[in-house]
Amino acid sequence: MDIRKFSLPEIIFGHGSMEYTGSYALQLGAKKVFVVSDPGLEKSGWVKKLLQIIEASSLRWVYYSNVSSNPRDYEVHTGAELYKAEGADVVIALGGGSPMDMAKGVATVVSNGGTIQDYEGANLITSPLPPMIFLPSTAGSGSDISQFAIITDVARKVKMSLISRSLTPNVSIIDSELLSTVDDDLLISSAVDALAHAVESYVSLIAHTLTETQALKAIHLILENMQPALKTRDPKTLEFLSIAATAAGMSFSNASLGACHAIAHSLGGFFDTTHGMVHPVLLPAVMKYNLPACEEKMATIGEIVLGKRLSSSRQTAEGGITRLHEIFLELGTATHFREIVNDRSAFPQICEMATKDACLLTNPRPATAEELLAICEEVW
């Protein structure tokens, strides 16, 4: 039997669990916490509530919200300078993938020195990070669970992938009440991001039973609850989406991803696109490309999507991919690149960059820059 590693933070899950933030910070030795969030969560009132919880635990805090939708290298460095100047000792992030990845970047630089570029790639972080507590406000990115951080190198127009066990937070507090203020576009893009995490990690070359189990559960829960959550915002459907995003995060953090995310990272670095908008365009096309290398696994996904198995594995897999494309159309998402970017000539460069992305290493079917370009042309 193969020996496998499965990395996770401590997870606090449930409606109202945000209230435990201060007590967990104290357990981690906090005296002055460094809080990272964004203006959207300020407007919705969640930042104010979090700071009140922190103050109720007699903790001091410093707040940082200079976070772009694709976190920039210089924003990380500014945050690290503030962290050191204020003498902070524990990092708390509230938000989607952007504030959480920003928090990971700041924690990396303050503990290891240098610039964030020094840690691009796998296992380059050598010194322990300050303790981190993350509160996801969307059901999608999985950054609160994962060993990944994605930071944009502005000069190179590249979204850098940082991968290290050190980037897994100490504590993830998953309070589905935070989803109640998320708008439709963000709810959809986050859920589809989680779906892409689940699909790609399920067919990953380094997937194993622990990751596969979580991935399949996530696919089922997302497809079952995404549209009802949009219509009603029922607390139970929102909770199921939170569970799905957590399960998908557990899977991809340990099995990695594939070509869909490799292209999405390169595209985001070049065009500054919103990450979640890319997956409805790319995911069905990448699944179709990967099908010859993992037919049985794609058929298992297809059976969940269709709710039944067709006469052969191939038909079930193809039927599931077609139906997934139809679901994205029904949700009103972009399904062609021309709907979200306006420069087709940049794709050869983007696909060349994608071949250097760590996520491509675990794609079930090898892909050259030319083959990735053919996928992108198919969905232009």
SS3 letters for 129-146? CCCEEEEECCCCCCCCCC
From residue 128, how far is each of 131, 146, 168, 277, 348 by CA, in Å? 9, 16, 11, 34, 39
Collapsing DSSP states into helix, strand and coil, what is residue 90? strand
- Mean pLDDT value across residues 188-210: 97
pLDDT at 78: 98
Chain segment 266-317, per-residue pLDDT in tens:
999 999 888 888 999 999 999 999 999 999 999 999 999 999 999 999 999 9
Whether the pLDDT of residue 81 is over 80: the answer is yes
Is 255 within 8 Å of 209 (Cβ atoms)?
Answer: no
- Mean pLDDT value across residues 310-329: 98
Residues in Cβ contact with 319 at an 8 Å cutoff, skipping those fewer than 6 apart? 302, 305, 306, 310
Q: Give the separation between CA 106 and CA 131, rounded to whole angstroms.
A: 12
Chain segment 127-157, per-residue pLDDT in tens:
999 999 999 999 999 999 999 999 999 999 9
Q: Give the separation between CA 269 and CA 157, rounded to whole angstroms.
A: 5
pLDDT at 73: 98
Whether the pLDDT of residue 69 is over 70: the answer is yes
Residues in Cβ contact with 32 at an 8 Å cutoff, skipping those fewer than 6 apart? 59, 60, 61, 62, 86, 87, 88, 89
pLDDT at 373: 98
pLDDT at 276: 83
pLDDT at 222: 98
- Mean pLDDT value across residues 178-191: 95
Q: Which amino acid is at 370?
A: E
- Mean pLDDT value across residues 258-268: 96
Q: Give the separation between CA 364 and CA 290, rounded to whole angstroms.
A: 6
At residue 3 the predicted structure's pLDDT band, cuts being 50, 70 and 90, is confident
pLDDT at 295: 98
- The share of the chain scoring above pLDDT 70, in percent, equals 100
pLDDT at 304: 98
pLDDT at 339: 95
On average, the pLDDT of the chain sits at 96
Whether the pLDDT of residue 1 is over 70: the answer is no
